[in-house]
């Protein structure tokens, strides 16, 4: 049996060094720090787009800490929940600040994650060998959406109550199992005390554990294959005499300082919102949520929080008339696959058979538009996870793609933002038409990516990263 050897230090060694050595002999603390940050080498041409990963970690810690303090006073009871939130706001010392930090942090989290995903999209950070990093990140995004949804009911305000009612009722559109599934999620025939208790359990215990695990997996996978960069060049393919990539620098202290500047700017903006505009005009905290939940009084306009509204708009855009457009789109997409791909005839025939069943299912006599709205609602989220296998571009970064690719990306971002805005507004005939057009642009971006991403004349990618010291 191997004997344990403890690290020896000179008698005059600092106490902190001895203490760290004692820990390292029993737990790889220094090794973990060096592997994950201290001596992790990252490309030297990172720009401001690369601060959002660190900011997401900061906001995650902020949400956990403020959430812990809120649970000390919150009552997950239908009769007491709204009053306990008011008690936190009015009676608990600094409770209003903790509550506003948590509510503002939820919106800040999604803003940061959306920007983080935008960077990945622009620079091809989902491409080989980083597919698993993207999938872990996508899992984090799904977990965040679930966490936000379950937390949305907890204030037990009017919009919380009716928003949860509407979203849970969407599952009722699923054939055969919909009503049972909705009942299982609610725990009752309507949103009630049972719903509040289970949502509280998921929001406070279950999902945070899953989220932390996914974040750890995301970081481990990232540091295993290395970070991408704005040029999309694999820096690990060009190593120096010391065994490190010649176009990389240690994360600490270089990117520690870089991130600290980003954190400073973020905290300044975050504090300004928390202290001066925590409701953000009703987008961060809806005004109806300052009214106790009333199951007998429905708000004039029910809409989810802004970070769900792009996908909610896809749901609302799926009307009976729009189904005929979708039928034509499915048929045209199958024709495109049949005429332009080299798939085996049997595979093409299978795709055509599935498409035919889908088109038949879209007939109003078979399945109504509400069901297909739920399908598109889910598909609009899940399709993001398929990006690594949809992009067939010769290069990763948008810097070296044809110019028309930039316009395609711009159209996608505009359509996504438009869907987000329309989801917060009362529906009208014109707004529905615009949302339907944006829905087609949104799905067209992903579904046609195997074709448009490979088209055009690509610019020459340099062998070394482009870096301009400042």
Give the relative orientation of helices 256-276 and 52-71 as an angle to the nearest 10 degrees: 50
| Separation between Cα atoms, residue 232 and residue 464, nearest integer Å | 10
| DSSP-derived secondary structure letter, 277 | -
Tell me phi and psi for residue 86, to 5 degrees: -65, -35
Q: Is 203 known as a binding-site position? A: yes
Q: Which residues contact 404 (CB under 8 A, 6 or more apart)?
A: 456
Q: Is 73 known as a binding-site position? A: no
DSSP calls for 161-180: HHHHHHHHHHGGGSTTTHHH
CA distances from 179 to 170, 174, 186, 457 (A): 10, 8, 11, 52
Tell me phi and psi for residue 41, to 5 degrees: -95, 130
CA distances from 371 to 161, 310, 361 (A): 23, 18, 10
CA distances from 158 to 44, 153, 154, 309, 387 (A): 50, 9, 11, 18, 38
Quote the tokens at residue 6.
């403890």
3 state SS of 245? strand
How far is Cα of residue 436 from the mean position of the Cα atoms in its chain? Answer: 23
Q: Is 258 known as a binding-site position? A: no
Q: Is 301 known as a binding-site position? A: no
Cis before 206? omega within 30: no
Q: Is 470 known as a binding-site position? A: no
Tell me phi and psi for residue 21, to 5 degrees: -65, -40
Q: Which residues are annotated as a binding site for heme b?
A: 102, 116, 203, 218
Q: Which residues are annotated as a binding site for a ubiquinone?
A: 223
Q: Which residues are annotated as a binding site?
A: 102, 116, 203, 218, 223
């Amino acid at each position: 049996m191997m004997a344990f050897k403890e690290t020896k230090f000179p008698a005059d060694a600092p106490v902190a060094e001895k203490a760290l050595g004692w820990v390292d002999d029993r737990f790889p603390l220094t090794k973990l720090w060096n592997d994950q940050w201290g001596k992790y080498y990252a490309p030297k041409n990172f720009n401001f787009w690369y601060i959002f990963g660190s900011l997401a970690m900061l906001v995650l810690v902020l949400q956990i800490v403020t959430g812990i303090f809120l649970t000390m006073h919150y009552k997950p009871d239908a009769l007491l929940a709204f009053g306990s939130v008011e008690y936190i706001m009015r009676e608990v010392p600094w409770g209003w600040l903790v509550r506003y930090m948590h509510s503002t942090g939820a919106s800040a989290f999604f803003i940061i994650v959306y920007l983080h995903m935008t960077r990945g999209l622009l620079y091809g950070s989902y491409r080989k060998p980083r597919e698993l990093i993207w999938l872990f990140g996508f899992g984090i995004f799904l977990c965040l959406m679930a966490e936000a949804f379950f937390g949305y009911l907890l204030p037990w305000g009017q919009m919380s109550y009716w928003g949860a009612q509407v979203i849970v009722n969407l599952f009722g559109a699923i054939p055969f199992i919909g009503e049972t599934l909705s009942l299982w999620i609610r725990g009752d025939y309507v949103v009630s005390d049972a719903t509040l208790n289970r949502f509280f359990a998921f929001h406070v215990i279950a999902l945070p554990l899953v989220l932390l695990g996914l974040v750890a997996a995301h970081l481990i996978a990232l540091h295993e294959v290395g970070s991408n960069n704005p040029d999309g060049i694999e820096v690990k393919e060009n190593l120096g005499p010391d065994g490190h990539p010649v176009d990389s620098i240690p994360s600490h202290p270089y990117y520690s300082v870089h991130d600290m500047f980003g954190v400073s700017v973020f905290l300044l903006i975050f504090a300004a919102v928390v202290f001066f505009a925590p409701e953000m005009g009703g987008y961060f905290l809806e005004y109806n949520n300052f009214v106790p939940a009333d199951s007998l009084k429905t708000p004039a306009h029910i809409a989810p929080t802004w970070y769900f509204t792009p996908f909610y708009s896809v749901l609302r855009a799926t009307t009976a008339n729009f189904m005929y457009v979708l039928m034509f789109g499915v048929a045209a997409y199958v024709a495109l696959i049949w005429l332009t791909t080299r798939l085996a005839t049997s595979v093409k025939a299978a795709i055509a058979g599935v498409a035919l069943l889908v088109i038949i299912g879209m007939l109003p006599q078979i399945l109504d538009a509400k069901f297909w709205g739920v399908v598109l609602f889910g598909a609009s989220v899940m399709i993001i996870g398929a990006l690594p296998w949809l992009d067939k571009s010769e290069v990763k970064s948008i810097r070296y793609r044809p110019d028309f690719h930039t316009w395609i990306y711009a159209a996608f971002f505009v359509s996504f933002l438009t869907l987000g805005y329309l989801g917060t507004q009362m529906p009208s005939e014109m707004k529905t038409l615009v949302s339907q057009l944006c829905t087609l642009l949104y799905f067209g971006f992903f579904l046609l990516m195997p074709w448009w991403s490979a088209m055009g004349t690509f610019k020459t990618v340099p062998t070394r990263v482009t870096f301009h010291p400042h």
